Amino acid sequence: MAFKTPVSSIDELQSLFARLGIPADYPTTSGLPFHPEPDRLVDAGHDMFQRPVQLTPVALRAWQAMQAAAARDGITLQLISAFRSVAYQADLIKRKLASGRTLEDVLAYTAAPGFSEHHTGRAIDIGTPGSKPLETEFDSTAAYAWLTANAEDYGFLLSYPEGGTGMICYEPWHWCYHETIDAHLLDKTEFKE
């Protein structure tokens, strides 16, 4: 069964959590903030699997600027994932549970619906040719080295660093755009909606 109802508040998540087996106290025990879906998204092309992706307009401009700068330095950055709706996140967790994984294991790498940065339209999972997508081996690539040296200049921060204290395990591929960091860069970036 697919979850199709948009969720806009923590209260609305309780029945969804119950259907997935997520404890009702997840909002307080996870340490993760609630992330409502944005009012506006724009098409951001396709991910590395040729699925259409969306981001907020400002996150797309920052991504395009960062990707172009990396390319000038000989680094290929690929989108693996971008915006995910709350409903999509619920289906993702449901599929992982159906494959035999435990809820604890799933929630170590996948935030519960309503709590994923992907809901904001500002989070992206990044890959590069020659590295398996969504694997920690990404941190040994030139792309990861480039990101750690340059991503903040474009407003992107690594959300789940190694040795982090949050509920989500280390994800060297998961970066989120923060508007307050790079306003000066985006004025120079061409972007067409």
Percentage of residues in the chain having pLDDT higher than 90: 79
Place of tokens 């971008």: 82
Asked whether residue 109 is domain-assigned, the answer is no
Q: What pLDDT score was predicted for residue 184?
A: 47
Distance CA 168, CA 161 (A): 9
Say how many Å lie between the first and final Cα of the chain, rounded: 34
Asked whether residue 73 is domain-assigned, the answer is yes
Mean pLDDT score across all residues of the chain: 89
Distance CA 63, CA 164 (A): 24
Read off the pLDDT band of 11 (50, 70, 90): low
Q: Which of 177, 172, 147, 141 is nearest to 63 (CA)?
A: 177
Domain count, the chain: 1
Asked whether residue 14 is domain-assigned, the answer is no
Percentage of residues in the chain having pLDDT higher than 70: 88
Read off the pLDDT band of 165 (50, 70, 90): confident
DSSP string, 38-88: PS--EEEEE-TTS-EEEE-HHHHHHHHHHHHHHHHTT---EEEE----HHH
Distance CA 136, CA 74 (A): 22
Asked whether residue 50 is domain-assigned, the answer is yes
Beta carbons within 8 Å of 138's beta carbon, 6+ residues apart: 126, 127, 128, 131, 132, 144, 172, 173
Provide the CATH number for the domain around residue 62. 3.30.1380.10
Residue 96, helix vs strand vs coil: helix
Domain hosting 57: range is 37-83+121-170
What is the total residue count of the chain?
193
Asked whether residue 129 is domain-assigned, the answer is yes
CB–CB of 120/176 below 8 Å? yes
Q: What pLDDT score was predicted for residue 163?
A: 87
Q: What is the pLDDT of residues 40-71, one digit of tens each?
A: 999 999 999 999 999 999 999 999 999 999 99
Asked whether residue 126 is domain-assigned, the answer is yes
Asked whether residue 28 is domain-assigned, the answer is no
Asked whether residue 103 is domain-assigned, the answer is no
As a whole number, mean pLDDT of residues 134-139 equals 97
